[in-house]
């Protein structure tokens, strides 16, 4: 091949991208199309996972409501398979709105339920989300005391001033806030004194196999110390074994969440149609 031909090929690759780039781009477009279709047809639901007390694992402190969509074959698709693709789009704002809507419905349905719902900081100020929250609290102001909003660390630090004002307003009405995935590589400790989160959820990367990992034990205990300093309740995510649960309880974690205690289900125990429960 001549030098001229080689340069032409290189130029073409630079303009069009690699085959891998194209494959990733096509996958993302397919994901967006799938989520758009699910939202348009209202094929959206919550899967509920228990968060248990570390001192009494038989006692549920609250549930997390995890957004799910159904694809065109009826499969339940977890958020982790699409949230990164839609996060920065308006579709991400719509997903957050639907999650809140479903969460408020569940709280109204079950008076004994306390529930956390995920929220991107990018959705703060989104008119539809705010309208759903306003309408829900107008219908029943007591729902606020049983609602926890989980904001991921990576989105919270993008717009700290906005998050701070938003949290202060809803906390006055009784809503609690959890800092989700804490320690996942986005930590900005200088913001913690301003946010006033009620709950710190320690990222599962520190928790999996912690009973046999001295490094993760030190890191987790450091995060627990930070949480105590800022008077935050702590939740260890992704607890999957008895050994990990026992270690976490011994170092003073307040609550635990993970497959060891319960998988997410779209048919929780308080619903009458849970005879054929599906995990999701």
CATH number at 121 reads 3.20.20.450
Q: Which pLDDT score, from 0 to 100, does residue 5 have?
A: 47
Q: Give the tens place of pLDDT for each residue, 73-102.
A: 889 999 888 888 888 899 999 999 999 999
Q: Is residue 28 part of a domain?
A: no
What's the pLDDT band for 195 if we cut at 50, 70, 90? confident
pLDDT for the residue 12: 42
Which residue has better confidence, 64 or 7? 64
Does residue 280 register a pLDDT over 80?
no
**Structural domain boundaries, residue 114:** 35-204+262-276
The single-letter DSSP state of residue 41 is T
Closest CA to 106 of 150, 140, 77, 75: 140
Is-contact 150 98, C-beta < 8 A? no
pLDDT at 7: 44
Given a cut of 70, is residue 269 above it in pLDDT? yes
* Count of domains forming the chain: 1
Is the separation of the CB atoms in 232 and 255 below 8 Å?
no
Please give the radius of gyration of the chain, using alpha carbons only, rounded to the nearest integer: 21
Domain assignment present for 177: yes
* 8, part of any domain: no
Contact 137, 163 (CB under 8 A): no
| Residues 122 and 87: beta-carbon distance below 8 Å | yes
Distance CA 96, CA 104 (A): 12
Residue 19 lies inside a defined structural domain of this protein: no
Percentage of residues in the chain having pLDDT higher than 70 = 87
Stronger pLDDT, 252 or 277, i.e. the higher one = 252
pLDDT greater than 60 at residue 24: yes
Q: Give me the sign of the Cα torsion angle 134, 139, 142, 146.
A: negative
Angstrom distance (rounded) from CA 149 to CA 1: 60
Residue 138 is assigned to a structural domain of this protein: yes
- Does residue 238 fall inside a structural domain? no
Confidence of residue 275 (pLDDT cuts 50, 70, 90): very low
Q: Are 186 and 153 in contact (CB under 8 A)?
A: yes
Q: With contact defined as beta carbons under 8 Å apart, do 177 and 167 qualify?
A: yes
Q: Give first-to-last CA distance, the chain, whole Å.
A: 54
- Tell me the C-alpha to C-alpha distance, in Å, between residue 26 and each of 30, 32, 84, 247: 6, 10, 15, 44
Mean pLDDT within 178-183? 90
Work out the pLDDT band at 44, boundaries 50, 70, 90. Answer: very high
Q: What tokens were used for 224?
A: 């627990």
For residue 239, being part of any structural domain is answered with no
Band the pLDDT of 272: cuts 50, 70, 90: low
Let me know: does 11 contact 3? Beta carbons within 8 Å: no
Whether 274 shows a pLDDT value over 60: the answer reads no
Q: What is the pLDDT of residue 250?
A: 98
**Does 228 fall in a domain?**
no
Q: Which helix (H) or strand (E) holds 176?
A: strand 176-182
């Amino acid at each position: 091949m001549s030098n001229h031909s080689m340069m032409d090929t290189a130029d073409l690759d630079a303009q069009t991208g690699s085959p891998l780039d194209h494959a990733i781009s096509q996958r993302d477009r397919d994901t967006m199309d799938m989520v758009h279709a699910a939202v348009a047809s209202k094929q959206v639901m919550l899967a509920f996972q228990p968060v248990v007390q570390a001192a009494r694992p038989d006692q549920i402190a609250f549930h997390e409501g995890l957004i799910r969509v159904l694809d065109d074959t009826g499969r339940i698709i977890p958020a982790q398979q699409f949230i990164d693709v839609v996060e920065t789009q308006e579709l991400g704002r719509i997903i957050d709105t639907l999650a809140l809507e479903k969460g408020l419905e569940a709280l109204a349905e079950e008076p004994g339920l306390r529930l956390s719902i995920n929220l991107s900081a990018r959705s703060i100020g989104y008119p539809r989300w705010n309208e759903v929250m306003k309408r829900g609290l107008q219908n029943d102001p007591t729902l606020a005391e049983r609602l926890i909003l989980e904001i991921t660390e990576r989105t919270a630090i993008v717009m700290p001033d906005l998050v701070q004002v938003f949290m202060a307003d809803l906390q006055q009405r009784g809503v609690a806030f959890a800092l989700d995935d804490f320690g996942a590589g986005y930590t900005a400790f200088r913001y913690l004194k301003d946010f006033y989160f009620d709950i710190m959820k320690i990222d599962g990367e520190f928790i999996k196999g912690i009973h046999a990992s001295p490094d993760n034990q030190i890191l987790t205990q450091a995060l627990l110390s930070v949480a105590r300093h800022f008077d935050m309740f702590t939740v260890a995510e992704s607890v999957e074994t008895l050994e990990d649960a026992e270690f976490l309880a011994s170092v003073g974690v307040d609550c635990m969440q993970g497959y060891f205690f319960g998988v997410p289900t779209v048919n929780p125990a308080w619903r009458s149609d849970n005879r054929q429960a599906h995990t999701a």
